[in-house]
Amino acid sequence: MDLRLDGRRAIVTGGSRGIGFATARALAAEGVRVALLARDATRLDTAVAALRDTGAVDVLAVPVDTTDDDAVRAGVDAVAGHFGGVDILVNAAARPASAGAPSDLATTTDDAVRVELETKLLGYLRCARAVAPLMTAQGWGRIVNVSGLNARRSTSLVGSVRNVAVASMTAALAHELGPHGVNVTVVHPGITETERTPGVLAERASAAGVDETAVRTELGATTTIGRITTAAEVADVITFLCSPRSVAINGDAVAAGGGTPGVTHY
């Protein structure tokens, strides 16, 4: 299937690693001109070099902290100036769920919630707010917010709150922007194989007194495909949602975690 993405212009936040980088790579493979936004300039340069090694047509590194609205607007302006516009925004600049320490009601501080909402919810909002006028003016655009399956679980207070908030924001933006040709969707990855995974597995294995293979098997059993999904597999879903082919999907949440056993979502 031709995704009709050749020549499109994309911004991927959190694009220097993980799902963000995998998405940038998948988009570039479809002929998309891609700008990677992240805080670490050195890591960004490494990511851009890796994409160019794969034959990416046009890749741009833009150091931006998405908690800073002025920085976001300046970054988007820089990308639009370089590419002549923006067609696609993939919001993936947020800490993975595994990066935060588990907490219950008694130990969850106000600041623990604030930092997640500042980075994930408001960071995504800032980026969407900056690109939306460019997309609506041209009558076409795609915004994909990367959230997480904690939105459908009650096991992580902070993780659930931030991800549900992103899903709710997505629906509101889709309602407003959809009539102008801009579709907004949210993707919920589950546990995903990225460069962080070996460290996470080692830490869990050490805490449980088992080997890493046992931990991987246990995590795989939480999916209906029997294994952890990879960042590239999640990126394939996101790439489709970035395409004109995805016009029938707007405001909805798409799970990309390998399937959750024992539940029905409708």
Q: 149: which 2 tokens?
A: 């399956």
Does some domain include residue 101? yes
With bands split at pLDDT 50, 70 and 90, how would you rate the model's confidence at 100? Answer: low
Answer left, alpha or beta for residue 262, where phi above 0 means left and psi between -120 and 50 means alpha.
left
On whether both 157 and 208 belong to a single domain, the answer is: no
On whether both 63 and 183 belong to a single domain, the answer is: yes
Percent of the chain with pLDDT over 70: 97
Answer left, alpha or beta for residue 188, where phi above 0 means left and psi between -120 and 50 means alpha.
beta
Centroid of chain to Cα 194: 13
On whether both 149 and 34 belong to a single domain, the answer is: yes
Does some domain include residue 264? no
Count: domains in the chain:
2
On whether both 89 and 110 belong to a single domain, the answer is: yes
Does some domain include residue 233? no
On whether both 203 and 144 belong to a single domain, the answer is: no
203, 208, 214, 215: CA torsion to nearest 10: -40
Does some domain include residue 260? no
Does some domain include residue 96? yes
Does some domain include residue 262? no
pLDDT per residue over 199-241, tens digit each? 888 888 888 888 889 889 999 999 999 999 999 999 999 999 9
On whether both 122 and 181 belong to a single domain, the answer is: yes
Does some domain include residue 261? no
Q: Lowest-pLDDT range, 11-15, 217-221, 226-230, 253-257? A: 217-221
pLDDT per residue over 57-96, tens digit each? 799 999 999 999 999 999 999 999 999 999 999 999 998 7
What phi and psi values does residue 6 have, to the nearest 5 degrees? Answer: -55, 125
Q: What does the alpha-carbon distance between residue 240 and residue 238 come to, in Å, rounded to a whole number?
A: 5
* Whether the Cβ atoms of residue 93 and residue 20 lie closer than 8 Å to each other: yes
Which residues span the domain enclosing 217? 195-227
Centroid of chain to Cα 65: 15
On whether both 131 and 165 belong to a single domain, the answer is: yes
Say whether pLDDT at 19 is over 70. yes
Task: Please give the pLDDT value at position 172.
Answer: 98
On whether both 26 and 126 belong to a single domain, the answer is: yes
CB proximity list for 174: less than 8 A, separation 6 or greater:
183, 184, 185, 250, 251, 252
Q: Position 236: which residue type?
A: D
On whether both 165 and 209 belong to a single domain, the answer is: no
Three-class SS string for the chain?
Answer: CCCCCCCCEEEEECCCCHHHHHHHHHHHHCCCEEEEEECCHHHHHHHHHHHHHCCCCCEEEEECCCCCHHHHHHHHHHHHHHHCCCCEEEECCCCCHHHCCCCCCCCCCHHHHHHHHHHHHHHHHHHHHHHHHHHHHHCCEEEEEECCHHHHCCCCHHHHHHHHHHHHHHHHHHHHHHHHCEEEEEEEECCEECCCHHHHHHHHHHHHCCCHHHHHHHHHCCCCCCCCEEHHHHHHHHHHHCCHHHCCCCCCEEEECCCCCCCCCC
On whether both 120 and 251 belong to a single domain, the answer is: yes
Sheet holding 253-256, edge to edge: 59-63, 33-38, 9-13, 88-91, 141-146, 182-189, 253-256
Q: Lowest-pLDDT range, 126-140, 160-174, 205-219? A: 205-219
Question: What is the domain-level CATH number for residue 30?
Answer: 3.40.50.720
On whether both 162 and 203 belong to a single domain, the answer is: no
On whether both 61 and 179 belong to a single domain, the answer is: yes
Does some domain include residue 35? yes
Degrees (nearest 5) of the Cα angle 58, 245, 55?
20
